[in-house]
A = this chain, B = another copy of it.
Amino acid sequence: MINDKLSSWNDGPVKRSIIDFLESTVEEGPNFVKPADRIATFDNDGTMWVEKPAPANIYFVIHNFLKAATEDPSLGKKQPYKAIIEKDMNFMQLIVEQDHDALMSVKEALAYAWGGITPDEFEEEVKEFIATNKQEKFDICYTDLVYKPMIELFNLLKEFEYRIFVCSGDERDFMRAFAEKTFGIFKENVIGTALQFEYKNGELKRMNKVLGGISLGPGKVEHIFAQTGRLPVFAAGNSDGDIEMLNCARFKLLLNHDDAEREYFYDEGAEKALGTANDEGYTVVSIKNDWKEIF
Which residues does A use to contact B, with CB under 8 Å? 36, 119, 163, 173, 176, 180, 186-188, 190, 194, 196-200, 202, 204, 211-212, 218-219, 221-222, 225-231, 244, 247
Contact = CB atoms under 8 A, between A and B. Distances in A.
A197 B231 CA distance: 13
A196 B218 CA distance: 13
Given A228-B188, A229-B187, A229-B190, A222 B196 contact: yes
A197 B180 contact: no
A218 B221 CA distance: 28
A221 B194 contact: no
Contacts of A228: 186-188
A199 B218 contact: yes
B244 A222 contact: no
Given A212-B211, A221-B199, A176 B226 contact: no
A158 B2 CA distance: 29
A41 B288 CA distance: 46
Contact of A211 (B36, B190, B211): B211
22 contacts: A36-B186, A163-B186, A163-B188, A186-B229, A187-B228, A188-B227, A188-B228, A188-B230, A190-B229, A196-B212, A196-B222, A197-B225, A197-B226, A198-B218, A198-B222, A199-B218, A199-B222, A199-B225, A204-B222, A204-B231, A211-B212, A211-B226
A226 B194 contact: yes
A74 to B, nearest CB: 34
Contacts of A196: 212, 222, 226
B163 A247 contact: no
Nearest to A176: B229
Contacts of A225: 119, 197, 199, 204
A202 B163 contact: no
Contact of A199 (B199, B227, B244): B244
Contacts of A176: 229
Please provide the 4 A-B residue pairs with the shortest distance between their CB atoms, ordered closest to farther.
A187-B229, A199-B218, A199-B221, A188-B228
A211 B222 CA distance: 12
Contacts of A36: 180, 186-187
Nearest to A230: B187
Nearest to A204: B225
Contacts of A219: 199
Instruction: Name which of A119, A173, A199, A211 has the most chain B CB atoms within 10 A of its CB.
Output: A199
